[in-house]
Structure 1
Amino acid sequence: MELQQLLDHLLFECHHSINHISINGVTDSSMEVEPGYVFVAIKGYQTDGHDYINDAVAKGAAAIIGENEDQGLSVPYIKVANSKKALGIVSSAFYQNPSQNKIMIGITGTNGKTTTSYLVKHILDHLGYSCSLIGTIQNIVNGEKTTTQNTTPNALKVNQLLSQSNDDVVIMEASSQGLAEYRLEGITFDICLFTNLSHEHLNYHGTLDQYFEAKSKLFSKLKPGGSAVVNADDYYGEKLINQMKEREVPVLSFGENPEASIQMKDFKLSYPYSVQLKEGMHSCEVTSPIPGYHNLFNVAIAYACAKVLRASSASICRAIESFPGVEGRFNMIDFPNGSTVVIDHAHTPDAVINCLQTSSESKNGKLYHVFGFKGDKDTEKRKEMVRISAEMCDHYILTLDNLNNVPKEEMIQALNELQANYGNEKGEIVEDRTLAIEKALSLSKEGDWIVISGKGHQTYQHSYHFPVKSDKEAVLLLKEQIPEK
C-alpha cells in the first residue's frame, strides 16, 4: 500500500512529498519497526514514542506520524492532532477496514461484559456461527486462544486480529478507557450492547457522567442499520436509549421496566435459575446454569443480542442451558467439610453486592468474604465495598491485591483506615492474601460460603506465603488440608 492511500482519511500537516512511497507495515513500537514501516509516535503514561523517532528512522521507517513539530527528518513526518486516533485510522486503512467484513458485536458497561461476551459466543456457536472473541480473559481467533493484557487492545492490535480472523462474528469487550483512548478508532459494529453503569474508574474519568460519555462512544461506531441492545433498568441505560431514538438507531431494550422491548419477569433465584422474557405477546422461560439475579441480566442481554440476529427463542434457550460459565466469574468449589468457596472477579460495589447476595441466598450457614484493593486505582469505591461486606457478611477479611507500585506499607495503612472508619467488629486484616484465604477456610463449617473476590481469573503479581499464582490455585492447595465433615 502507498503512504498516500494510508492517509486518505487522516487530517495532517506534512512538508515532505508523500507520493509513491510504499508502506509495508504499521507499528507504534520502535522495536518492531522494519524497512518500509510507518511508525506512529504515541505519548504514553511512562514513555513517549516521540523520543524513539530517530531509532525508527534508523531502522528503515518510511514515514513517521506524531503530534510534535517536524524536526527535519529524512523521511516524511506526518503531524496530527492525536496520534492514538491516527493509529486507528491508518491501521484500519492498512488492513483494508476488516471490521466491515465481519458481524461485529461490541459490549460495554461496568459489570457483566466478560460473562455476556462468553454467553453471546456460546449461543452463536450453537447457532452455527464461527466466532472470534476479544476481551478481558483472552482472545480467541480461528479457535486459537492467546492471553491479553487489556480488555480492549489498541487499534493496531484490534485490526491485526480482525484481519487474521476467518470467523463470521467478532465479539469484543469495549472498556471505557479503551474507548476514551481511541483504541476502537476506525472499527465499526453491527450490534452494540450496554450492560449497566455504576461507580468505577472515576480516578480516570472524573465523574459518572464523563464515565458514561466514554462508554457511549461505542454506540457512535454503529454501522448504518446497526442496532443497540440496552439495559432499560439502568439510569444511564435509559439515557442511552433516548439518545439512540433521537438518532433513529434501532434499539432492543431489556429489563424489568414495563416499557422494555424484552421484559424480564418471574425471576427464580434458586436452582434451576430462570426468568421469563416477554416480547409483546410472546413469552418464554430461560433457564440459566449460572446463579444470581445479575447473571439473569447477562442471560437476557445475550438473548436479546441473538434475537437481533433473528435467532429463534427456542434455539437461544437451548444454547443457554448448556453454558459452562466463565473462568473467574462466580466459580464454585465444594470443600470436604461441606462449605462452598466462590471465586469471583467482582471489584466494584455493585458487583460485590451481586456476588454476596447470590452467595447469601444459597448458604445454609455463615457467609465469609476475602477481598482487597488494587493500588493506584479508584480509591473512592473502597469505603463502599467495605461497608457492603461489613453489612452483608458474618465475617470478612481485608487483604492485599496488586500493589501497582504503591508501597506495601501505604496499602496496609489504607486497609487499617478503611476498617477503622467503615468496617465493624466482624472484620479483620490479614496482609498475606493466601493466609487470608486460609484463615477464612479454617473458620468455615458445613453450609458456610466463602467468597474470594477481586481477582477472579487474574494471576498474582506478588509472592505470598503459599507458592501459588492465583486465588483458585490457593483454594485448591488448601482444599487438601481441610478435613472432611
Structure 2
Amino acid sequence: MSGLASKGAKYAALETSSHGLVQHRIKALSFVAGVFTNLSRDHLDYHGSMAEYAKAKLSLFTEHDCQHKVINADDSVGQEWIEILPDAIAVSLIAKPQTKQFMFASNVRYSEQGIEIEYQSHWGEGKLHAPLIGEFNASNLLLAFATLLALGADRKSLEKTATELNPVIGRMELFQTADKAKIVVDYAHTPDALEKALCALRVHCEGKLWAILVVVVIETEGSVL
C-alpha cells in the first residue's frame, strides 16, 4: 500500500477477507468506501457458523472508518445490514431500495454480447453495457458503478468505460471457437457459486448448455472443489 502511494496512486481496491477482519490485519486502515457483494457458504472451518462469518464481514462497516457503505440489497444478509446501516447505499437488480441513497436496475438484458442495464439512482438514470456474462456480474457492475459515483467519478465517463471491461481470468471467461460451441471457464467451487454460474450461462445461451465439472477434493462443509 505504501508503495502504491509513493507512486502517486489515489485509490486501491482491497479484498478484505473475513480472516483478515477477525485477526485485525487491516485495523490500521481507513476506507473511503466499503462494498458488500454477498455471503455464501464458505470458510466455515474457520468461523464455525454462517452467523459468525456474517459478523466478521459486517465488522468492516461497524468497526472501521468506512465513509461510503455500498450494500447489495438483493442478498438476504445485505438486506439485514441495510436496516442497521442508515447511511448505506443500497444497490439492487430487482427493485428500488427504500433508502435515501440507492441504485437499481429498471431493466437488464443478457445476450452473447454481454450485459445491458438500464439503471435509476439518486445520482440520475442511464444505461450500462459491458461484455460480461451472468447476473452476478451485472450485480457486481452496478455495485462498482455506485461505489465510483460515491467517490465522485463522472457518470457518463463510467458508462463509456464499462464497454471496455474484461472478465477476470478464469472467472466466467469466454473463449470463442470458429463455427463451434462457445466455451466458458469458471472457478465455481461451492454449491452456491456453481448454481449461479450455470444459471448465469443459461440466460446467455440460446441452445444446449453442457457442464463439465472437475471435482478435486471436499475440504469443508458446503464445498464442491
TM over 0.5, shorter chain: yes
Unaligned runs of at least 5 residues, structure 2: none
Residue in structure 1 matching 2:91, options 254, 265, 269: 254
- Equivalence for 2:18: 176
1:196 to 12, 31, 38: 38
Q: Which AA in structure 2 matches 1:372?
A: V
Question: Does the 8 Å CA contact 1:190/1:222 hold for their aligned counterparts?
Answer: no
Matches within 5 A, 1:329-478: 329-335=171-177, 338-361=180-203, 362-375=205-218, 377-382=219-224
Provide, for residues 434-454 of structure 1, a one-character-per-residue CA deviation record: whole Å limited to 9, x for no partner.
xxxxxxxxxxxxxxxxxxxxx
Q: 2 CA distance for matches of 1:352 and 1:237? A: 21
Instruction: Name the CA distance, whole Å, in 2 between partners of 1:274 and 1:366.
Output: 22
- Residue 268 of structure 1: aligned partner: 109
Between the aligned partners of 1:272 and 1:217, the Cα distance in structure 2 is: 34
Give the structure, 1 or 2, with the largest relative contact order (CA under 8 Å, sep 6 or more): 2
Q: Structure 1 residues 372, 165: CA separation in 2 closer, same or farther (over 3 Å shift)?
A: farther
Matched, 1:235 2:76: yes
Q: Which amino acid aligns with 2:25?
A: R
Would the aligned equivalents of 1:264 and 1:277 in 2 still touch at CA under 8 Å?
yes
Calculate the TM-score normalised by the size of structure 1: 0.42
One-letter amino acid of the counterpart of residue 342, structure 1 = V
Distance 1:165 1:204, change over 3 A: farther
Which one has the bigger helix percentage? 1
1:65-76 aligned within 5 A: none
Q: Which residue of 1 aligns with 2:65?
A: 223
Which amino acid counterpart does residue 368 of structure 1 have in structure 2? A
Does the aligned pair in 2 maintain the 1:232–1:257 contact within 8 Å? no
Q: Tell me the residue number matched to 1:208.
A: 50
Q: Is residue 91–residue 103 contact of structure 2 (8 Å, CA) maintained in 1? A: yes
Q: For residue 363 of structure 1, report the CA deviation from its aligned partner.
A: 4.7
C-alpha spacing 1:170/1:374, structure 2 compared with 1 (3 Å)? farther
Matches within 5 A, 1:319-334: 319-334=161-176
SS at 2:14 equivalent: strand
Give the distance between the partners of 1:352 and 1:363, measured in 2 at CA.
20
> Could you say what secondary structure the match of 2:136 adopts?
helix
Q: Distance in 1 between matches of 2:20 and 2:64?
A: 16
For the 8 Å contact 1:227–1:251, the answer to whether it is kept is yes
Amino acid at match of 1:259: P
Q: Secondary structure at the match of 1:356?
A: helix
CA distance in 2, matches of 1:228, 1:189: 10
Instruction: Give the distance between the partners of 1:309 and 1:228, measured in 2 at CA.
Output: 11
User: Conserved in 2, the CA contact under 8 Å of 1:188 and 1:221?
Assistant: no
> Is residue 302 of structure 1 aligned with residue 154 of structure 2?
no
| Alpha carbons of structure 1 residues 209 and 283: separation in structure 2 relative to 1, 3 Å | same
User: Does the 8 Å contact 1:212/1:236 carry over to 2?
Assistant: yes
Partners in 2 of 1:292 and 1:167 — Cα distance?
Answer: 31
Provide the secondary structure at the position in 2 that maps to 1:305: helix
Inter-CA distance 243–281: structure 2 relative to 1 (3 Å threshold): closer
Q: Distance between the aligned counterparts of 1:371 and 1:279, measured in 2?
A: 41
Amino acid in the other structure paired with 1:309:
L
How many positions carry a matched residue from both structures? 219
The answer to whether 1:285 aligns with 2:122 is: no
Shift of 1:340: 2.1
SS in structure 2 of the partner of residue 367 of structure 1:
coil
Supply the AA of the counterpart residue of 1:306: L
Unaligned stretches of 5+ residues in structure 1: 1-158, 383-400, 402-485
Partner of 2:125, secondary structure, is: strand
Shift of the 331–284 alpha-carbon distance from structure 1 to 2, 3 Å rule, reads same
Retained in 2: the 8 A contact 1:187–1:221? Answer: no
- In the TM superposition, residue 285 of structure 1 has moved relative to its aligned partner by 1.3
Say which one has the larger Rg.
1
How many Å separate the matches in 2 of 1:304 and 1:331? 24
